[in-house]
């Protein structure tokens, strides 16, 4: 059975769930800062500048393709809604897309810690961390974004 309308408070619960998830991922940024400040640089088997370059390049590629990936996933979610018309499933899939974006951005946080500890450029590490935090903050779920998703999904369904 598909549900083409939302129950009272369902959108609020959806947003609260997504916001809590975002806060959880954002909380890793101060933890990364603490690790970066408390752990001294270490010498590994790879040249430090190579570690910094690889970590920064991987983080930037993952971060900047997160939006394209999210858009592709949301397009699939809208097509699925167009076929089934289940709003609860649309919201669940929306949460999964948000989780995938946050997980990708978390890779940037981890890469910044790696670059800080084993790399040769602390500026690159701090820059990647700042960018990850900013991108996570920009992914903050809002009612307007969710309403727009629902509206576009309904348009695709012909409602």
Which token pair is 17? 């769930």
**Domain spans in the chain, listed from the N-terminal domain onward:** 10-40+47-157
Report the candidate in 123, 140, 135, 137 with the shortest Cα–Cα distance to residue 63: 135
d(CA 38, CA 41): 10
Instruction: Note whether 131 and 20 are within 8 A (CB).
Output: no
| Residue-wise pLDDT tens digits, 47-77 | 888 888 999 999 999 988 998 999 999 999 9
CA distances from 3 to 84, 85, 97, 98, 159 (A): 9, 7, 20, 22, 13
Percentage with pLDDT > 70 across the chain: 97
Q: Note the pLDDT of residue 109.
A: 96
| Residue-wise pLDDT tens digits, 12-54 | 999 999 999 999 999 999 999 999 999 877 776 778 888 889 9
Instruction: Note whether 150 and 159 are within 8 A (CB).
Output: no
d(CA 137, CA 82): 30
Q: Note the pLDDT of residue 131.
A: 94
Which token pair is 74? 């949301």
Q: What is the mean pLDDT of residues 108-123?
A: 90
- What is the overall mean pLDDT for the chain? 91
Grade residue 120 by pLDDT with cuts at 50, 70 and 90: confident
CA distances from 50 to 44, 45, 114, 121 (A): 11, 11, 12, 10
**147 has pLDDT over 60:** yes
Please state, as a whole number, how many other Cβ atoms lie within 10 Å of the Cβ of residue 61: 12
Please state, as a whole number, how many other Cβ atoms lie within 10 Å of the Cβ of residue 21: 15
d(CA 154, CA 148): 10
């Amino acid at each position: 059975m598909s549900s083409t309308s939302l129950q009272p408070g369902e959108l609020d619960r959806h947003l609260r769930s997504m916001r809590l998830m975002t806060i959880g991922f954002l909380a890793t940024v101060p933890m990364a800062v603490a690790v970066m400040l408390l752990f001294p640089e270490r010498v590994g088997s790879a040249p430090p500048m190579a570690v910094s370059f690889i970590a920064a390049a991987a983080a930037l590629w993952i971060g900047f393709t997160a939006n394209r990936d999210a858009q592709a996933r949301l397009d699939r979610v809208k097509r699925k809604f167009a076929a089934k018309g289940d709003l609860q499933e649309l919201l669940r899939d929306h949460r999964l897309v948000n989780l995938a974006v946050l997980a990708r951005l978390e890779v940037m946080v981890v890469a910044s810690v790696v670059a800080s500890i084993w790399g040769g450029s602390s500026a690159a590490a701090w820059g990647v961390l700042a960018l990850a935090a900013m991108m996570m903050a920009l992914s903050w779920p809002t009612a307007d974004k969710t309403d727009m998703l629902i509206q576009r999904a309904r348009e695709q369904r012909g409602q």
